[in-house]
Structure 1
Amino acid sequence: MHARCDIVQGLRDACCTEECIEAFMRAYDEGRPKDGLKAIEGFRRKTLEELHEQQRRIDCLDYLTYEMNRLAAR
């Protein structure tokens, strides 16, 4: 198994909140893997939703860029 500090660093590298890290590590230390999974799955879900929102914004900007380039080519 990984060293505790490696797990914490991995969670920090994933930009988990301190609350998420504490919940995960508490579950890990107490041998409750399902609770640990709940902690990081919730954070993952939120992160994925934010990613999708950013993608929607990029899509809008790409469309506007396309339209402006099309108009400029006339």
Structure 2
Amino acid sequence: MNHQIASDAVIQNLKDAGCEDDFIERFIFTLENQQSKEVFLLLRGWRNNLLDEIHNNQHKLDCLDYLIRTLGG
């Protein structure tokens, strides 16, 4: 597989995951410099951020659901 194609696929995957441009640049630099431990730390960090967002949004939904139930809707 062509390195550029693989790199393009990785970049697209990161964009699809909501990664910001500065994160993508840092990730690609780290990947190209074969710093595998750092690569996984970056990915896990971004994943944790997304999971925190999910939990925060779940809390917001729970609050609305409570209000709907309380008001009899």
Report the Cα offset of residue 38 of structure 1: 1.4
Decide whether the 8 Å contact of 1:24 with 1:37 is kept in 2.
Answer: no
Q: What is the TM-score with the length of structure 2 in the denominator?
A: 0.84
Structure 2 portions without partners, runs of 5+: none
Report the Cα offset of residue 46 of structure 1: 1.3
Cα deviation 1:35-72 (Å, max 9, x = unaligned) = 111112111111111110110000000011011116xx
Q: Secondary structure at the match of 2:72?
A: helix
How many residue pairs get aligned? The number is: 70
Q: What is the TM-score with the length of structure 1 in the denominator?
A: 0.83
1:34 pairs with 2:9: no
1:50 pairs with 2:37: no
Deviating runs (4+, > 2 A) in structure 1? none
Q: Secondary structure at the match of 1:69?
A: coil
Q: Secondary structure at the match of 2:18?
A: coil
Aligned sequence identity (%): 33
1:1-74 map, 5 Å: 3-69=6-72
2: CA distance, partners of 1:16 / 1:44: 10
Whichever residue aligns with residue 58 of structure 2, its letter is Q
